[in-house]
Structure 1
Amino acid sequence: MTTLTPYEAIGGEQAIRSLVDRFYFYMDILPEAQGIRAMHQPSLASARDKLFKFMSGWLGGPNLYMEEFGHPMLRARHFPFAIGEAERDQWMLCMNKALAEMIMDPQMRTHMQAALQHLATHMINQETERLP
């Protein structure tokens, strides 16, 4: 019995390109995502390329990101940006909308959403102010 990687199970390169394109589409148009959109360059081409390459390897496909840039070191690479719960939630809003458009097994979608939520939470580098 052959077990498919998540990369293969969701449709490989074409599916990941579509997911990343839709993710950035939502980041670009949703008023609720203005905070994270403002953290990006006016052109999303470089971010789109890097996220595609990262997602490829992260999902078990070709390690395109590592081949070009080395280990992702996600927290270190994102440290110049103030990321709190609001930014994480904006990122996840865009990703969840993009995932909802993908044709895939519902269990795979749920697993990906949980894994990406965990990853996005790991990127938080700012304390959230707590009211007394």
Structure 2
Amino acid sequence: MTAPIKFGEGDGTLQAVGGMEGLTKLVHAFYRIMASNEDYRPLFDMHPQPIDTSIDKLILFLHGWMGGEKMYAKKYGQIALPRAHAHLHVDDSNRMMWLNCMSDALQECGYSADLREYLITQLSVPAGRIQQVSEMMRGNEA
């Protein structure tokens, strides 16, 4: 009998989303929902077009973040999330929009409530840091 996958341990989270195939499906759903839902469209419009590079970057980043190989760094170099988003004005509304869109994508992909809750809770940390740094930088511009 196999032990249940433990999110956050080793590559347990990556396994829970279905490895690279599941992660790719999730990220594509995330950006499709963002583009097609007027509530999330402001986020989509923040991204450079065509959207392919943003999709690739999120897949590779999340692959490492979920315990897999650090593929983002191999292709794009090291990342500091607040610095990578420094050109954007990210407020509380944008942060919540991003998390809600990801929550919708997780739901659409049929992940368990436990995994959805775990991921949104964990993703809230870097999303909050991006918002904090953005607001601090914007405050310095005033």
**Aligned pairs (5 A) from 1:1-132:** 5-124=12-131, 125-126=134-135
Equivalent residue pairs, number: 128
Q: 2:42 and 2:110 mapped to 1: Cα distance? A: 29
TM-score, normalization by structure 2: 0.81
Shift of 1:5: 1.6
TM-score, normalization by structure 1: 0.87
Q: 1:31 to 1:103 in 2, by over 3 A?
A: closer
Equivalent residues of 2:46, 2:88 under 8 A apart: yes
Q: Deviations over 1:57-87 (max 9, x none)?
A: 0001121101122222000110011111111
Q: Deviations over 1:83-120 (max 9, x none)?
A: 11111111112111001123334322211110112221
Q: 1:103 and 1:90 mapped to 2: Cα distance? A: 20
Equivalent residues of 1:56, 1:64 under 8 A apart: yes
Shift of 1:34: 2.5
Q: 1:92 and 1:9 mapped to 2: Cα distance? A: 19
Equivalent residues of 1:10, 1:103 under 8 A apart: no
User: What's the secondary structure of 2:135's corresponding residue?
Assistant: coil
Equivalent residues of 1:20, 1:48 under 8 A apart: yes
User: What's the secondary structure of 1:80's corresponding residue?
Assistant: coil
Q: CA RMSD in A?
A: 1.9
Shift of 1:12: 0.1
For structure 2, the 5+ residue unaligned runs are 6-10
For structure 1, the 5+ residue unaligned runs are none
Shift of 1:31: 0.8
19-28 or 95-104: which moved more? 95-104
